[in-house]
Amino acid sequence: MNSPTPHVRVIASPQSWVEGEAIRQLEAASRLPGMRSAVGLPDLHPGKGAPVGAAFASEGIFYPFLVGNDIGCGMGLWELDLPARKAKPERWATKLDLDGPWEGNTDAVLADMGVKPCGFEAALGTVGGGNHFAEVQRVDAVHDAQTFTALGLETDRLLLLVHSGSRGLGEAILRAHVDRHGTGGLAEDSDEARRYLERHDHAVAWARANRATIAGRMMQGIAAGGRRVLDVCHNSVTPKEYEGHTCWLHRKGAAPSDQGPVVIPGSRGALSYLVLPVGDGTGHAHSLAHGAGRKWTRSSARERMRERFTPDALTRTSFKSHVICEDRDLLFEEAPPAYKAIDRVVGDLVEAGLVRVVATLAPVLTYKTRSRRE
């Protein structure tokens, strides 16, 4: 296959810290056959073989390993019917438990959302590990009142942000591909490409149903109702017209800029940003940062944070919010200093002309896990 000369771009100001290994991974991916564009967002950081916080556009071929194992992972935002003044984080923290299988009717929930069962339904409604979470939030400040109002939001209402994906389903799909092809790509007109895309699209839909089920469990646990404001996926591969070519747009930890407002969360001790994408998507693969991005590896974070904090100290934040995380290693791995500064990440997007900040959201209660790692 004759490959075009790829365009490589990193969207980050001189004040932003981007690890050299992440740049190396981005450039290596840009040299894959058929690749037209590789874009690193301000949250760019090294991943397992491919960078996170990146988007890629290829022609005639696509690469499942660039999407990774958590196909369909994304962010969903719900507005709750609870006023912020009625938040009871201490009480909620004592009783919330989303780790066990959901006791509801999984088949009915999936059918209602047009999703077929897949054999991983025991995980439906569970958050998962790593950087996934479900977080009750309050409105910190409104910066674009017109867009905020157009979304039907009210400043005195609590919100719920859910970050999770397809759990074991996406892992099984990637493993089946890697066992046959390693990091190789799939020609777009091949039967294997069609089979992968069918499974991929199923995982994206299943992940969306998972976030909705998590939200339902959270709302039941805090005696609230709510409505979904948005739900966007940041791990996927989709066909897209890009810069005059029909391409395959890979997003790995990259929020879409062509699907309306998105939430870009910081660490669990920082603000989240509700932003409105602006521009036509040219030059940044219709993609945005999906979060703050890791600054330290998990092993490094564990070592550093154990020297500075007790586990109990990390269950409270500077916002006086509560963090439910009974896995001590995960608590250290996910400590706020392990992540880049979210205000700098979003500031880079604003300065690049890619987003407008609609509102900032502050944490009230963050759910990670009740499980203890052995």
Active-site residue numbers? 290
144, 260, 46, 283 alpha-carbon torsion, rounded to 10°: -90
The sign of the CA dihedral 168, 173, 174, 180 is positive
For the chain, the three-class secondary structure string (H helix, E strand, C coil) is CCCCCCEEEECCCCCCCCCHHHHHHHHHHHCCCCEEEEEEEEEEECCCCCCEEEEEEECCEECHHHHCCCCCCEEEEEEEEEEHHHCCHHHHHHHCCCCCCCCCCHHHHHHHCCCCCCCCHHHCCCCCCCCCEEEEEEEEEECCHHHHHHCCCCCCEEEEEEEECCCHHHHHHHHHHHHHHCCCCEECCCHHHHHHHHHHHHHHHHHHHHHHHHHHHHHHHCCCCEEEEEEEECEEEEEEEECCEEEEEEEECEEECCCCCEEEECCCCCCEEEEEECCCCCCCCCEEECCCCECCCHHHHHHHHHHHCCCHHHHECCCCCEEEECCHHHHHHCCHHHECCHHHHHHHHHHCCCEEEEEEEEEEEEEEECCCCC
CB 277 within 8 A of CB 254: no
CB 164 within 8 A of CB 211: yes
**CA 242 to chain CA mean position, Å:** 23
From CA 67, how far away is CA 37, in angstroms rounded? 15
